[in-house]
Amino acid sequence: MSSSTTGSSHYLAVREDWLARRVEPILEPDLPIVDPHHHLWDRDGWRYLLDDLLADLNAGHRITDTVFIQCRAFHRAHGPEALRPVGETEFVNGVAAMSASGGYGPTRICAGIVGHANLALGAGVEAHLCAGGGRFRGIRHITAWDADPVMLNPGNPAPGGLMGTAAFREGFAKLAAMDLTFDAWLYHPQIPELTALARAFPGARIVLDHVGGPLGIGRYAGKQKEVFAAWEPAIRALATCGNVHVKLGGLGMRINGFGFDSAAEPPGSEALAVAWKPYIDTCIDAFGAGRCMFESNFPVDKGSYSYAVGWNAFKRLAAGASAAEKAELFAGTATRFYRLEG
């Protein structure tokens, strides 16, 4: 991978030379970690494939398993529109098979696969199951939307209020009936929409990505206190839905507005932990360790910090947790939610 890569102005550029200027000893190197949220892709000007992932996984933390989350990688170029995302699952299952050979280290890479199907179309889920080689675990249908166009990712267009539409819920009902997981990626003003969906489908297994996407740019710039004041009660209300879990991470993106990337030097794990503490502590307090899982969100968050530093920050944030709670936060919750046993 080149020293500076980016796939879209929506994402922060990855500067390997800048990241390399921050080196830290690995905290608790023997703690088993399941990374339940990473991507693989080959985009214009930005390649993050198996070798790139391995370079991050081998940074010193003990990553036992990973879960791939859809990112529009290697969709089929031809065939019915609803089935084109199945190409991503086919590709990732091949990477998982490479890892399962044992020739790429001890980590079970892509032990779980989360793909995309347009739930409003209600098609394609069965094809993912066939393509996933027994590793397919669920669907992510991105619903992130905001009235401020600065927030919108042109690669993931979604209309406002999608989760409440009859067409979406019809498709979601099929997903729930198949006992597949649903990864929810949205922005913090939309959390109540997910709460309504979770209450309408109490048997569905749902995980909220990236602590619910607190926004910090565009019309939210400089309003961190106001954003937190709206985000916190929404998170606590969502946590009353026992079928919902939450991923702790994804706060290194441009949209969060922390500005880690704009500093002369890359942030250390202490600085990251201080910035993230209100969000992580709130989620753990609301959901409990048994419904929380730390995540890398790499390579998206790599524009702000390195893999080694990011996991060090998570370990600092969990320093006050018991051994049992740490086991849940770093591996147990993700293992159960995505059924990675065996």
pLDDT tens for the 342 residues of the chain, in order? 344 565 456 899 999 999 999 999 999 999 999 999 999 999 989 999 999 999 999 999 999 999 999 999 999 999 998 899 999 999 999 999 999 999 999 999 999 999 999 888 877 789 999 999 999 999 999 999 999 999 988 888 899 999 999 999 999 999 989 999 999 999 999 999 999 999 999 999 999 999 999 999 999 999 999 999 999 999 999 999 999 999 999 999 999 999 999 999 999 999 999 999 999 999 999 999 999 999 999 999 999 999 999 999 999 999 999 999 999 999 999 999 999 986
Q: Decide if 183 contacts 223 (C-beta within 8 A).
A: no
**φ, ψ (nearest 5 deg) of residue 63:** -90, 115
SS3 97: helix
Burial class (CB in 10 A: 0-12, 13-18, 19+), 67: buried
312-324 b/e with 16+ CB inside 10 Å = b? bbbbbbbeebeee
Give the tokens for residue 17: 């030379």
HSE on the CB side for 223, CA within 13 Å?
Answer: 14
3-state secondary structure of 170: helix
Pair of tokens at residue 120: 């409003």
CATH T-level assignment (fold) for domain 4-337: TIM Barrel (3.20.20)
Tokens of residue 118, six digits: 């347009």
Q: Could you please report the per-residue DSSP string of 107-127?
A: SEEEEEEEE---TTTT-SHHH
SS3 of 129, please? helix
pTM over 0.85: yes
CA distance 210 to 292: 11
- The overall longest dimension of the chain from CA atoms, in Å, is 52
The identity of residue 246, as a single letter, is V
> What are φ and ψ of residue 237, in 5° steps?
-70, -40
